[in-house]
Amino acid sequence: MFSNGVPPKEIARRRELTLEAVYERRYRWLAKGMAGLSDAPRSGAPSKLSPEQVEQLKMWATQEALTATELLGRLEERFGIRVHRNTLTGLLKRAGLVWKRTRHSLKKSGMNSSSAKPNPKLGS
């Protein structure tokens, strides 16, 4: 777009980018050509789980109704590693698996509360 004379502000608007991002990409293009446009490696810690461990967790989670605590226990027993519960739940969510915790209800059963009381009109 730069080579076609499109102003940087218009490029940012069309591509839904900030003006800074447009200039940054332009500078990378000038310095490295096409290779400069690919994403650079991201910062952050490497994955704590190997692909084999991830597949095993997904298999356990799909085969049985297990809690996160049970999955973490199996992971430690089988592979000897421990990860945080949030690491596990995030991993399973990214894999498309969703589960909800059991909710305990304080609602009364279907029986009407008035039917449990004795009726004084029925005689003694």
Q: What are 48-104's pLDDT values in tens digits?
A: 899 999 999 999 988 988 888 999 999 999 999 999 999 998 888 888 887 666 666
What are the residue ranges spanned by the domains of the chain?
8-37, 51-94
Q: What are 5-18's pLDDT values in tens digits?
A: 999 999 999 999 99
Q: Which amino acid is at 105?
A: S
First to last CA, the chain: 95
Report DSSP letters for 76-87, one per residue.
HHHH-----HHH
Task: For residue 37, give every residue at least 6 positions away whose Cβ sits within 8 Å of its Cβ, in sequence order, or none.
Answer: 25, 28, 29
- Residue pair 67/100 in contact (Cβ under 8 Å)? The answer is no
**pTM score:** 0.49
Q: Where are the alpha helices (DSSP H) in 2-114?
A: 8-15, 19-32, 51-63, 68-79, 85-94
